[in-house]
Amino acid sequence: MIKYDWRKTDAHFGSAVLLGFSALLLLFTCLSSPVVETIYLYRISLKTTLNTRYVDVGLWGYCVERVKGLPVNDPNVVEGCSAARVGFSLDNVVATALASPQIAGLHKKSHTASLILYPIVSALLFFGCALQTCIHLSKRTRSMQISISSDGYKKIFIFNSITTFLVLIAFVLQISVVATAKFAIKDVTSVKPSVVFHWGNTVWLSVFPIIMLILDLGTIYTARKNVLRHEREEAAERMTAIAMKKQAKKERKKKPKAKKEASDVEQDNEQDNAPTGNDVGGSPAPPASQPVLGRRPTEPPPYDLDGYANTGRPGLSNPNAPS
């Protein structure tokens, strides 16, 4: 059976790829009209019998396209792109180009200014991509090894969640701007059918990053879950090892005491098994402090002295004793 080594798994590479593509697509959204004319939020077209004129509206302004195939353009129409700025509204230039005075004043500057959130979330995504790339490369380099714990994955997950939430808010703001224009153009189309509303490509450039960011959150969450589970297993193993060391230490402390008790018991047994004075074949040695019985004292007893009666030995008398 193949053993799974969770330390060798790397979710940061996949996360870096997803964040990188998301940031790149949102960067294209930030480069919409009038920066790049082919990228826009929505398009308004005016169809005539000979040609069609287009007005492309982006995050920072609009572009009135030049009608191809006409030798001489309408001198009343100002063709080209407006200056890129945060917060704009469709002015008389667009109304004249589409021959629809009702379009003048479409959008509030405060409403379109909220689209500044797109560059902000793009910068956050590039930062997240760079962070994940650095962590991924560090795992391949011994000199700068970085170990990501479950808390580290949690912080990355929170950061990516906040970024994803901001991308969703930016997408909702974009849809609100486009929906406002769609309903306004719908009223114009009911009066003038030659004016037609078209969805732009920035909508799809925002949908795909949201999908990839959700996949990135799933990747980070799964990686954190696996790391957390293995951290708990390692903590349990460490606690078991510590308990075993403590038990072994207690047993080592008990061994000298057990040896001493066994030695004392052995000495007691030897003393109990030693022969006594009543046993045949010998007598125990008396203590050194007590006199040895059965030996004649060095001093003569009283009955050996002259002038004393031998009272200690019945039946005998001392002839030298005074009468």
For the stretch 145-202, pLDDT in tens is 456 777 888 889 999 999 999 999 999 999 999 999 999 999 898 888 889 999 999 9
- pLDDT value at residue 50: 77
Residues contacting residue 242 through CB under 8 Å, at least 6 positions apart: none
Res 275 pLDDT > 70: no
- pLDDT value at residue 143: 41
Res 233 pLDDT > 50: yes
27 near 210, Cβ under 8 Å? no
Report which of residues 132 and 257 the model is more confident about: 132
Give the C-alpha separation, 64 to 97, whole Å. Answer: 7
Bridge partners for 90 per DSSP: 106
Identify the helix (H) or strand (E) that includes residue 56: strand 52-57
Task: Give the chain's mean pLDDT.
Answer: 79
Of residues 1, 5, 12, 6, the one with CA closest to residue 227: 6
Res 29 pLDDT > 70: yes
Range scoring the smallest mean pLDDT among 62-76, 119-133, 244-258, 279-293:
279-293
In the chain the domains, ranked by start, together with CATH numbers, are 9-141+148-236 (1.20.140.150)
Which one-letter amino acid corresponds to residue 191? V
Instruction: Place 144 in a pLDDT band, splitting at 50, 70 and 90.
Output: very low
Which one-letter amino acid corresponds to residue 272? D
- pLDDT value at residue 48: 80
- pLDDT value at residue 148: 72
- pLDDT value at residue 236: 81
What interhelical angle do 202-273 and 12-30 show, nearest 10? 160
Report which of residues 8 and 218 the model is more confident about: 218
**Residue-wise pLDDT tens digits, 42-58:** 999 998 877 888 999 99
Range scoring the smallest mean pLDDT among 38-47, 158-167, 243-252, 279-288:
279-288
- pLDDT value at residue 179: 95
201 near 39, Cβ under 8 Å? yes
